[in-house]
Structure 1
Amino acid sequence: MHALPSPDALRQILPSVIFDLADRFVTAGHELSLVGGPVRDLYLGRVSPDLDFTTSARPEETIKVISGWADNIWDVGREFGTIALKKGEHTLEVTTYRADAYDKESRKPIVAFGDNLYDDLFRRDFTMNSMALRLPDLELVDPFDGVSSLKDQSIRTPGAPDISFSDDPLRMMRAARFASQLKIEVSADVRKAMSEMTDRIDIISAERVRDELVKLINGADPRAGINLLVDTGLADKVLPEVSALRLEIDEHHRHKDVYQHSLTVLEQAIALETDQDGPVPGPDFVLRFAALMHDIGKPATRKFEPSGAVSFRHHDMVGSKLVKARMRTLRFDKETTKAVARLVELHMRFYGYGDAGWTDSAVRRYVTDAGELLEHLHRLTRSDVTTRNRKKADRLAFAYDDLEERIAQIAEQEELKSIRPDLDGQQIMAILGIKPGPVVGRAYKFMLELRLDEGPLGEEAAVEQLRAWWEKQPEAQEAITEE
């Protein structure tokens, strides 16, 4: 935690648009304060890109103050007292003091505009977000000791946490998100309230839960946020597959703790993210979420063998279906869902490579099946090694090094990422004398499989193989019979 800079230093640090806006409000006889996240972030040694303000002015008065000065004005949040504006490169939000009440069946507040800054700060989610800087003098207003909360690295609420979470249950997800983003813990009373009020999350839309989950996973310490969700029981509601990973360990410890293993895989995957110029720039939600969820098929597939061993056969395929279903429930977009599910499905494909070796055909299929996710799959597979057996870990690492080297060698020769059959659809139709239809698709698939198995054939050999395949197809036999 950093000390708050002096007012003179703040004037140098903060964008000048803040003070230009303040001058207009003060001149018009209104109060204006920078509030919430931007103030918290100053104590964390950074300037927030979000610029949020609270004011004594009503929405119509705010519009009057900024009209002719702002480049653009949006009043879609006017019902809730929020007016957004664009000035130069900055987007700002100005909200009238609020003193809301909440409907117990909804997180939507019964909007009531307030008349003072104290009440407005009291209604906010956490004490670290209940601080303001009065403008233009930059006087700190911290009635609920948000500074101490940051100093103690503890997430607390301005009022009783059970009331706060009952008013807006999404705040429980936000607590877990901040635990991840800011690497701080929740206070004991906040944790207790979260544990006792998990059912209240049911009134929150899947989309809002999803948005908080993404921020948590992309945070600096997602293990902390996930542990909080699981320990309080909130994960049973929003991510039950992760809670289910806490399999009961048998007395002989014949399998590892799947839950802790998954968190370790997540952390190891994060360590393999690249900078913005690399193939997997962090934070990468697809890689991180696949790492967390890669073993969620194990609880459903666990079997104790007669030998005493524990098996999880096909947990990769089961897990892929489970993660797809969960992400659909949370309203993730199709592309992200497909990517995570594909990585979960493929995460076991590599195992056995070091023992049995792979043909060039198998390497081509590995690359083709991964497609655009190949770099993600590399990192997920490497991260999935959490054994304390150094020899085993080294053997797997060396084997994957070898696989990547072979991929590079074959890719250099064959452009693996864009593998296509030696003949395209138009050529297939011309050679076989057929029209567009399902049979063309079958022929194309045959030629693609041939390409993966044998590498580039050249047009002449490809035509020969296509004709040999065609002779065995029922459509070809029907054509001969008709003649």
Structure 2
Amino acid sequence: MGVLARADAAVRELYPLLEGLIARFEESGHALYLVGGSVRDAALGRLGHDLDFTTPARPDVVQAILDDWAETVWDTGIDYGTVSAAYKGQQIEITTFRSDVYDGDSRNPEVAYGDTLEGDLTRRDFKVNAMAVELRSDGPEFHDPMDGLGDLAARVLDTPAAPEQSFHDDPLRMLRAARFASQLEFDVAPRVLTAMKDMAGEIQRITVERVQVELDKLMLGSLPERGIDLLCSSGIADYVFPEIPAIAMEPDEHAQHKDVYAHSLKVLRQAIDQEEDGPDLVLRWAALLHDIGKPATRDTTDGKVSFHHHEVVGAKLARKRLRKLKYPKHVTEDIAQLIYLHMRFHGFDGDSWTDSAVRRYVTDAGELLPRLHKLTRADCTTRNKKKAARLARTYDLLEERIAEIAAKEDLARVRPDLDGNEIMEILDLKPGPEVGKAWNFMKELRLEEGPLEREVAIAKLREWWESR
């Protein structure tokens, strides 16, 4: 089925749901168009539950129609000509034709309503998002003045107007190009890439909050490595996440990849291949960033390249950058902790780790342990099949050790055998720093020796206390 036929079929499937809305717009004398990403996704066979519409009707008319038809209506975007609604599981946004004017300083336009569909479509970011389907009671009519279908068939992103003008109006569109490259698995047109390279610095006009949103959408796409590579090759990553392109020139210690950058993209893909319940943003970011500490730790002593403690430096760099991008604290800390722990496994050979070492591995990872398993396995990108099989088997052994110990004790929640109240009673202490020191001793003892009988734990606590 061709893209146009697929789009037509998908739109017709919406008619039973939307017939009341279509009738109300016709009664008011105004056209209603499915538009933008909704038409694109319909043509790609991936239409979801968020539907975007445009119309020549002004917002007050739109709101009156929706009030009469939808289950819920809200007008938080009405200053920009948008009224939203919910109806039978669909999220609906209807925006009045726009012909915005940009001041060239911010990405926020001076909102101006338009009078034509083509004028509204021309202002959009990419041709594949500049298609519309008029919804009429006698059937849909397709509108594609920019040949978005041609770009869709060619799997390419190009702008309706000159890309330089489009990106000057709204630099966020350059990030959206990378995001769509990831989500849709499209390439950008040569002139778009040229403009992105020439105008990369314009991205500094965009707030970090908006940058973060687009980066996350990119990372959650089906092919994030394509989006990341576009940001790096265009120079935009130098402004939004410079630690990523910085690894492009660093050869890894085994010279098995062109550079650490290529290795990191492969680790990202291998981590994605292990996802079980949909895209995992924390795992994906940790996989991409796990080696960003290598440039700062590169050492060529004796002619060999090494990156000692790059995981420590990498965790600090990731934490600093993610904070600048205003990521939530728990997301930042989880990503940084995975980076910090990703080399821990390489000291394990099957027999050398004590039960204490296994406990510490599990305890330090905490709730991140399943992700750490995936990240560590993904970090093996050697082309040597025997070595890859050996590493995989060694990690299998570690997981078996974890399972064996977990069967005997609660590894998920390692706690001292005595709590703070018991420690205060046994040592006759009042609340204060000394109790914390005693608790930490008992925690270390628990990690080292596993669960102890109460009498043994009390004896060891008293012995430690007296030895101080």
TM-score range, shorter chain: over 0.9
Asked whether the equivalents of residues 127 and 155 of structure 1 are also in contact (C-alpha less than 8 Å), the reply is yes
Q: Which residue of 1 aligns with 2:320?
A: 325
Q: CA deviation at 1:196?
A: 0.5
Asked whether the equivalents of residues 100 and 113 of structure 1 are also in contact (C-alpha less than 8 Å), the reply is yes
Instruction: Give SS of 2:84's match.
Output: strand
Q: Which residue of 1 aligns with 2:286?
A: 290
Asked whether the equivalents of residues 100 and 123 of structure 2 are also in contact (C-alpha less than 8 Å), the reply is yes
Q: Which residue of 2 aligns with 1:65?
A: 65
Instruction: Give SS of 2:343's match.
Output: coil
- In 2, distance between residues paired with 1:9 and 1:388? 46
- In 2, distance between residues paired with 1:383 and 1:416? 24
Q: Which residue of 2 aligns with 1:124?
A: 124
Asked whether the equivalents of residues 270 and 282 of structure 1 are also in contact (C-alpha less than 8 Å), the reply is no
- In 1, distance between residues paired with 2:215 and 2:25? 37
Q: Which residue of 1 aligns with 2:18?
A: 18
Q: Which residue of 2 aligns with 1:277?
A: none
Cα 1:133–1:446 shift into 2, 3 Å: same
Asked whether the equivalents of residues 317 and 345 of structure 1 are also in contact (C-alpha less than 8 Å), the reply is yes
State yes or no: 1:316 paired with 2:316: no
- Structure 2 stretches lacking a partner, 5+ long: none
Q: CA deviation at 1:423?
A: 0.8
- In 1, distance between residues paired with 2:293 and 2:128? 39
State yes or no: 1:381 paired with 2:376: yes
Asked whether the equivalents of residues 71 and 87 of structure 1 are also in contact (C-alpha less than 8 Å), the reply is yes
Cα 1:35–1:245 shift into 2, 3 Å: same
Q: How does 1:326-365 map to 2 (within 5 A)?
A: 326-354=321-349, 357-365=352-360
Q: Which residue of 2 aligns with 1:477?
A: none
Count of matched residue positions in the alignment of Structure 1 and Structure 2: 465
Q: CA deviation at 1:117?
A: 0.7
Q: How does 1:422-433 map to 2 (within 5 A)?
A: 422-433=417-428
- In 2, distance between residues paired with 1:15 and 1:432? 76
AA aligned to 1:208 is R
Asked whether the equivalents of residues 11 and 42 of structure 2 are also in contact (C-alpha less than 8 Å), the reply is no
AA aligned to 1:412 is A
Identity of aligned residues (%): 54
- In 1, distance between residues paired with 2:36 and 2:364? 46
- Structure 1 stretches lacking a partner, 5+ long: 275-280, 474-483
AA aligned to 1:150 is L
Which deviations, in whole Å up to 9, do the C-alpha atoms of 1:191-224 show, x marking residues without a partner?
A: 0010010111001011111111111111111111
- In 2, distance between residues paired with 1:265 and 1:109? 40
Q: Which residue of 1 aligns with 2:181?
A: 179
The CA RMSD measured in Å over matched residues stands at 1.8
AA aligned to 2:295 is P
Q: CA deviation at 1:255?
A: 7.8
Q: CA deviation at 1:359?
A: 0.3
Q: How does 1:463-474 map to 2 (within 5 A)?
A: 463-473=458-468
TM-score normalized by structure 1? 0.93
Q: Which residue of 1 aligns with 2:393?
A: 398
Asked whether the equivalents of residues 12 and 140 of structure 2 are also in contact (C-alpha less than 8 Å), the reply is no
Q: How does 1:84-483 map to 2 (within 5 A)?
A: 84-136=84-136, 137-247=139-249, 249=251, 257-274=259-276, 281-305=277-301, 307-354=302-349, 357-473=352-468
Cα 1:38–1:394 shift into 2, 3 Å: same
Q: CA deviation at 1:366?
A: 0.1
AA aligned to 2:298 is R
AA aligned to 1:52 is D
Instruction: Give SS of 1:83's match.
Output: strand
- In 1, distance between residues paired with 2:356 and 2:250? 41
Instruction: Give SS of 1:311's match.
Output: coil
Which deviations, in whole Å up to 9, do the C-alpha atoms of 1:357-408 show, x marking residues without a partner?
A: 2000000000000000001000100111111222322221111110000000
Asked whether the equivalents of residues 2 and 44 of structure 1 are also in contact (C-alpha less than 8 Å), the reply is no
Q: CA deviation at 1:66?
A: 2.0
- In 2, distance between residues paired with 1:99 and 1:12? 29
- In 1, distance between residues paired with 2:457 and 2:334? 33
